[in-house]
Amino acid sequence: MQTADIQRRWLDFFGQRGHTVVPSASLIADDPTVMFTIAGMVPFIPYLTGVVPAPYPRATSVQKCIRTNDIEEVGKTTRHGTFFQMNGNFSFGDYFKEGAITYAWELLTTPESDGGLGFAEKDLWVTVYEDDDEARQLWKKIAGLPDERIQSMGKEDNYWSTGQPGPAGPCSEIYFDRGPAYGPEGGPAVDDTRYIEIWNLVFMQYAIEDVRSKTEFRIVGELPNKNIDTGMGMERVAFLKQGVENMYEIDQVRPVLDAAAALSGRRYGANPDDDVRMRVIADHVRSSLMLMTDGVAPGNEGRGYILRRLMRRSIRAMRLLGVDAPSFDTLFAASRDAMSAAYPEVAQNYDRVSRLALGEEDAFLRTLVAGTSILDVAVADTKTGGGSVLAGDTAFQLHDTFGFPIDLTLEMAEEAGLSVDREAFDRLMAEQRSRAKADAKSKKAVLADVSVYGAFRSLGETRFLGYDELEAETRVVGIIVDGVSVDRATVGQLAEVILAETTLYAESGGQDADEGTIVGEGFELEVLDVQRPIAGLVSHRVEVRTGEVSVGSSARTVVDGDYRRAATQAHSATHVIHAALRQTLGHDAHQSGSYNKAGYMRLDFSWNQALSPDTRSEIEEISNIAVRDNLEVETRVMGLDEAKSLGAMALFGEKYGDRVRVVDIGGPWSRELCAGTHVSRSAEIGMISLVSESSVGSTNRRVEALVGLDAFREFATERALVQQLTAQLKTPRDSLVDRIAELSQQLKTAEKRIAQFEAQKLSERVPALVQSAESVGAVQLVAADLGAVGSADDVRSLAQSVRERLAGSAAVIALAGHAGGKATVIVATTPTARDAGARAGELAKRASAVLGGGGGGKDDLAQGGGPKLELVGDALAAVREALQG
C-alpha cells in the first residue's frame, strides 16, 4: 500500500464520517516564536484549548511536520525522521472516547478491499492510562481485546498536557506486533522495538493547575467540553504495510536512498555505517525538499539555518560514501518524484527549489575543500600538542569564513577523536551576531530610483497607523529588489516592501525610523530602515529572515515597543530643549535642523558664538523643570494657515501640506509643526542630560543630549567615576578639581626630569659607541640596538652626537631603539662616507623593510622602523650587508 494511498484512505474514511477535511498547514508555524509545525495537532491548538471557538465540530487532516531535536538518531533507528506526516482526527466537544476508539479500530481492521488499512486484529495491542478504567472497558467492548493485550501505563507514557495550566487528559496508544524476530514477547510495556506505536488517542477531559513537571500537576476538574486529538504516524504505518524494515525504505523515501547508493557504487545492506549514511541522505533530502517547497531558503539563522544544516549533512554523508561530485540534481529529483503524488505542489515549485538546492550544494562543495584542509591542520596540531579539544576560535573560523555549521565541525572532530570547545565557539558567535545587527542598522541603504515607486503610489497613500497602535494588519502592495519591482523576496535577500498600512514610523522630521518586524504567513522580515521615497508612500527596507514574502501577502507590522518609547522620549525632548534655548537666548535662536533616535537627540540652531557653561546649565535646568512639571502634550491636525496664526513654529526648508500636525507641550510654551511621535505628558521623557555643545558653521551651533534611561546611565557612569577618583585620591568631591590640577602639574615636572635624565644617560653612551666603530667596506660602521628609549627623537639625537665625534672619517651610524611597541632605526652619515657612496635614506629603507615597515630620508640623515621588534638585529645586519656590497 503506497503512502499516498494511506493518506487518501484516511481522509476518505473520516470525511465520510462527518469530519471536515482540513488541508495540511505549512511547515512554517504561524507562531513567529516557533520555527516549524512539529505535530499534527499544532494548527488545531486554539480550538482544542478553547482559546478560539472551533469552526467545525470535528475535523481530520494529514499534517506535514518537521522535528530536528533528535537529528543525531536519524538513520540509526527504525522511526526517527526529521520530516514526517501525522494523520489526525479531532473532535471539539463532539464525540469522545467511545467514538475515537470506534473510529480507530474500524479504520485499522477494515480490509483493504473495503477502504480500510487491513491490519490483523491479532497483531494489535493497546495501552491505556493506569487510572483510565473507562478506556479499558471500551477497548474490550468495541475491539473485543483480551485484558492481556490492554496494558496500563503511567503518566510519563500515557498522559498528555501542554506543560502549562489548562486542558489535559489520559492517552491510549495502539501498537503493532512485528513478531518474535524483532524482540521478546510481552507487549509494548516490555519492548517498543518489536511492538511499534502507530496511533495515539488523546482524551482531553480535565483541567489542571500547579504544573511542576510532566507527571506532577493537580487536576482541578473536568472540562465543560471534552475534546479528542489523535495522531497516526504515516511513515510507521507505511513501512508496516509495505513490508519493509523501517521508514527509510518506504516508497516516499527509498528512491532517494537508492539514488545515493547508485551514485556511490555501494550496496545498501552491505555495510552498517554506509546504511546509516544512506538513510540520513534519504531523510534529509526529503525534509529539505518539503521545507523549500513551503518557502524556506538556506540561511545562517532560524529556519534557514536548520535547512542548511540538513542539506550540508546530506552532502557530508555523500562524501563519506566516496561521492565528491555534485549529487543534489539526482537526489532531489528522486525525492520530487516520490512525494508529488501526495503533494502536487512539490512538482509545481520544483524549478525554484532545484535552483536553491543546486546553488547551496555548489557553494558548500567549494567551502568543504578549503574548510576541510583547515580543519585537518587544526586537528593535527591539536593532537601533536597532546590536546584533546579543538579550539573554539578554529570552529568559529570554519563557520564564519568557510560556512561550516558547528555540528559538521563537531562530527568531523569526533571522527578524529577530539571534542570542540563549544563554549568559546558560542561566545564568538554571540559577539558576531551583536556586531552584525549593529552594522546593519547603521547602514542606511540607498533607495531605488524614484521612478519605480510611481505604480505603487498610484494605488493610494500608505496609511500610517503608528500614532495609536504598535501593530496592525496590512497587505504587501509591492516589493523592490536591487531597484527593480519583483513579485517576491526570499530568505537572506535585502528588499524594499511597500505596504497598504503601517505602524512603523518612516524617518522624517528629524526622527529616525522605527525598529521592528513585518510578519506574515510563512515569512518574517527584519526592518532595517523605513523611508518616504516619494510623498505619501512608505518604503520598508527589510532583510527576509525566514520564508518567502510575495506581493499580495497579508502581513502584520510590529513596532519594537521599547525602541519606539525611547525614540518618542527623544523627539519630545528635542522640542523641550528648543523651547528652553529660545527662553534663554531669545527668539533669534531658531532651530535649523535636528536628529533624534532612541535615547539620543541633537538640535542645530542659529547662533554665532559658543554657549558658556552657565548658559548650558541653565538650558538643561529649564528643560528638566519642564519634565518635572509634567506638562500636557497635545497633538492637533489643522490647516497650515491656522497653525501659523497660533504661532506654531515650522522647520526652515521643510515642506508642509495644507493640513499639518501641531504638537503643543505646555500649551504655547512649545508649539511646533511636527509629524513625529511624542509622549502624552512631559514627565514621560524621564530625564535630559545635555552632553555637548559645538559649532557646525559660522552662524550655527549644535547641542546634543541623552534622554530617558540613556541619560540616567550617563549620570550613573559619571557618579561611579567621581566615587572612584575620590577614593583613589583620598580627596573630597568638592576638592577633586584642585587635586587633579595639582597632580597634573607634578606629573609634567616629573616627566621633564625623567626626559633630562634619560637624555643624559644616552649621551653617556657616546664614547662607547664611538669606540665600537668597525670597518665595513669603505666606511666605519657604528651599529647598535639601544633597547627601550623614550622616543625616536632620543635615538636621532644620539646618532647625531656620535656622527659629530666621527666627523673626520668616513662613518655610518645606524642606531635602533623601541618605544610604544614599534622599532625605530636612525641612520646618519658623514660627508666622507657619502663620498664613498653611503646614502642614509637607502640604508634606512633596507632596515625598515626587515622590520615590516617603511623608511627613508636624506643622504645624511634618515629614519625608518616597523612593528617587528624581534628583528632589530636583522635590520642592523641588513645595513652592514649593504655597506659591504
Residues comprising the binding site? 571, 575, 674, 678
Q: Where are the alpha helices (DSSP H) in 175-246?
A: 234-241
CB 52 within 8 A of CB 45: no
Q: Which residues contact 489 (CB under 8 A, 6 or more apart)?
A: 479, 481, 495, 497, 542, 544, 548, 549
With residue 138 as reference, give the H or E element that holds it.
helix 133-143
Nearest to 789 by CA among 814, 753, 824, 813: 824
213 residue type, one letter: S
Angle at the Cα of 133 (from 132 to 137), degrees rounded to 5? 125
Distance CA 15, CA 492 (A): 41
List residues forming the annotated binding site for Zn(2+): 571, 575, 674, 678
Q: Which residue has the cell 545562517?
A: 300
CB 257 within 8 A of CB 281: yes
Q: How many residues does the chain have?
A: 885
Q: Which residues are registered as beta bridge partners of 547?
A: 523
Q: Between the CA of residue 15 and those of 8, 60, 113, 226, 382, what are the distances in Å?
A: 10, 7, 18, 21, 62
Distance CA 314, CA 328 (A): 9
Parallel/antiparallel/unpaired status of strands 166-177 and 124-129: antiparallel
Distance CA 456, CA 323 (A): 50
Parallel/antiparallel/unpaired status of strands 471-481 and 463-464: unpaired
Distance CA 315, CA 412 (A): 13
What is the DSSP secondary structure assignment for residue 408, as one 8-state letter? H
Q: Between the CA of residue 238 and those of 254, 481, 764, 769, what are the distances in Å?
A: 12, 44, 95, 93
Q: Which residue has the cell 633596507?
A: 846
Helix, strand, or coil (residue 56): coil
End-to-end CA distance of the chain: 90
Distance CA 323, CA 266 (A): 11
Nearest to 814 by CA among 872, 870, 761: 872
Q: Which residues contact 611 (CB under 8 A, 6 or more apart)?
A: 619, 693, 701, 703
Distance CA 64, CA 28 (A): 10
Q: Between the CA of residue 324 and those of 95, 259, 320, 328, what are the distances in Å?
A: 56, 15, 9, 12
Helix, strand, or coil (residue 270): coil
